[in-house]
Amino acid sequence: MDSSKVIQDPVHGNIIVDGIFLDIIDRPEMQRLRSIKQLGLGYLVFPGANHTRFEHCLGAYHLAGRMAQAIGLGREDSDTVRMAGLLHDVCHPPFSHSLESIMEEATGLDHMELARSLITGKVRNHRAMDDDLFDGIRPIGEEIARYGIDADEVCDLIANPVSNTDNLDSFLGKHEYFPSKDYAHQIIHGPVDADQMDYLMRDAHYTGISHGSIDCDRLINTMMVHNDRIVLRRGGTTAAEGLMVSRSLMYNSVYFHETTRIAQKMLTKAVSECGQDLSDIYLWTDSDLIQKVVDSGGKSSNCIRRILNRDINKKAFAVYSSDMTEDIASKLIEFTTKEGVERLEQEIADQAGVDVFHIGVETTSKSNLQSTMNIGKTDVSIIDDEGKVRSLSRYSPIARSLQARDPYSWAILVSAPEPFREQVEKASRKVLSL
């Protein structure tokens, strides 16, 4: 009989971990996640936000298992989606999403494709300094294969965030379909998935934001499979609306919080300029990164030590969504790319007479400025008693409104150290002609 353990979780209560899953969570790839803050520098704004990627992965594993049971998956498929839930963030960089773009530049892969490389043994699975502990350890893929779990299937679930059917309305009009096990994919990346439900509930719990609460039990209990996709019975409509409200409000109040975004910009500048080899950053912890940047000296060391002491740059200039016009949007749209942001930072720095290292620009997305942004993961399928499936937005005015709601609340943020704030504000207005 497989051994099992009960882990006490503040969000989900008892989480049962058994068999090969116990072995995997004790591996160095998973244990590293205990030292990666889930919300990056969010703790500077929300002091309780010290939870980690490890906790979140356990929660996603737990919810993936509950969803698999709810829709009647067999043991093999259930084990596959549970493993994907457990491993989906195994290659997040230090401070989570804050440094994802830097890691992608350094490795050529995002965290999901890096997970595939890590699981299949194409990249190192531990730091060189830990060779005395883990030299010769087999790749995760080889370990789980011994228990009948296909590593390629797990990686496919992790590394493909877009569902096989992108346009729900066009799909709903079809009477024929080709079985693809898309329901398994939707447990990890779908309108109502294990990853999303856990991070919304967990982040709300640790930040103290009450509107992050969702009716997880109702959502799972009303799930079923129809034409190879996960749908909710009509009784889950209100819970689905609650999920969408939670997601929208959490983006405004937590994920796109101004102070957090300014601190993250400082962090990316410090890491970009530190001169360290970042090719194995996916193996570092938060403390590893801090130490390497501090040891690098110069501006980078000064910057990260300022962050640690919460000496955060100040907002010098901003344009908020409520003040947006077509003219302003047309001016900002050229600065929504990485290259555009860097060019704008340099122009503001030159105009203000300040080192560009001290100028931080954060912009909304191009689609948001064009009013075409969808907050994502909101096109929930609802099935009625007659078996007809429609998008939640067809039933719910709330859903329709939320799909059009701006998740940022701001269109552009320009920040700088306090001594330069006034001159950077003037420079920003002049460069942007605002």
* Helices 286-296/298-308 angle, 10° precision: 140
Q: Do 320 and 388 belong to one domain?
A: no
* Two structure tokens written together for 75: 């043991």
Provide the pLDDT for residue 254: 94
Amino acid identity of residue 350, one-letter, is D
In a domain, 100, yes or no: yes
* Two structure tokens written together for 297: 């000296």
How many other CB atoms sit within 10 Å of the CB of residue 330? Answer: 11
Provide the pLDDT for residue 1: 45
How many other CB atoms sit within 10 Å of the CB of residue 165? Answer: 19
CATH code, 394: 1.10.3210.10
Provide the sign of the torsion angle of the four alpha carbons 107, 112, 116, 121, taken in this order: positive
In a domain, 287, yes or no: no
Low-confidence ranges of the chain (pLDDT < 50): 1, 164-179, 372-375
Candidates 371, 380, 379; CA nearest to 406 is 371
Provide the pLDDT for residue 430: 96
Q: Look up tokens 């609650």; give the residue.
A: 242
Q: What are the b/e assignments for 4-20, b being 16+ CB within 10 Å?
A: eeeeeeebbeebebeeb
Provide the sign of the torsion angle of the four alpha carbons 287, 292, 296, 299, taken in this order: negative
Strands 4-9 and 13-18: antiparallel
In a domain, 36, yes or no: yes
Concatenated DSSP letters of 314-360: EEEEEEEGGG--HHHHHHHGGGSSHHHHHHHHHHHHHHHT--GGG-E
In a domain, 286, yes or no: no
Q: Do 416 and 388 belong to one domain?
A: no
Q: Do 66 and 105 belong to one domain?
A: yes
Q: Do 16 and 155 belong to one domain?
A: yes
In a domain, 336, yes or no: yes
Helix (H, G, I), strand (E, B) or coil at 411: strand
In a domain, 290, yes or no: no
Q: Do 190 and 215 belong to one domain?
A: yes
Provide the pLDDT for residue 163: 52
Q: Alpha carbon 272 to chain centroid distance?
A: 21
Provide the pLDDT for residue 171: 41
* Cβ contacts of 79-82, under 8 Å, gap ≥ 24: 79/20, 79/147, 79/148, 79/149, 80/149, 80/150, 80/153, 80/154, 80/157, 80/184, 81/157, 81/184, 81/187, 81/188, 81/194, 82/21
In a domain, 211, yes or no: yes
State if pTM tops 0.85: yes
In a domain, 292, yes or no: no
Domains: count for the chain: 2
Q: Do 226 and 322 belong to one domain?
A: no
Q: Do 145 and 51 belong to one domain?
A: yes
* Two structure tokens written together for 38: 């889930």
Q: Which residues contact 239 (CB under 8 A, 6 or more apart)?
A: 214, 215, 218, 219, 222, 232
Length of the chain counted residue by residue: 434
* Two structure tokens written together for 148: 């009948």
Q: Do 337 and 244 belong to one domain?
A: no
Q: Do 412 and 433 belong to one domain?
A: yes
Q: Do 240 and 122 belong to one domain?
A: yes
Domain of 395 in residue numbering reads as: 4-256+384-403
Provide the sign of the torsion angle of the four alpha carbons 13, 19, 21, 23, taken in this order: positive
Q: Alpha-carbon distance 82 to 75, whole Å?
A: 10
Output the CA angle 159-52-55, nearest 5 degrees. Answer: 75
Q: Do 200 and 236 belong to one domain?
A: yes
Provide the pLDDT for residue 342: 95
C-alpha to C-alpha distances, 12 to 54, 56, 80, 208, nearest whole angstrom = 14, 11, 21, 16
Q: pLDDT per residue over 295-314, tens digit each? A: 999 999 999 999 999 999 99
Provide the pLDDT for residue 235: 93
Q: Do 388 and 358 belong to one domain?
A: no
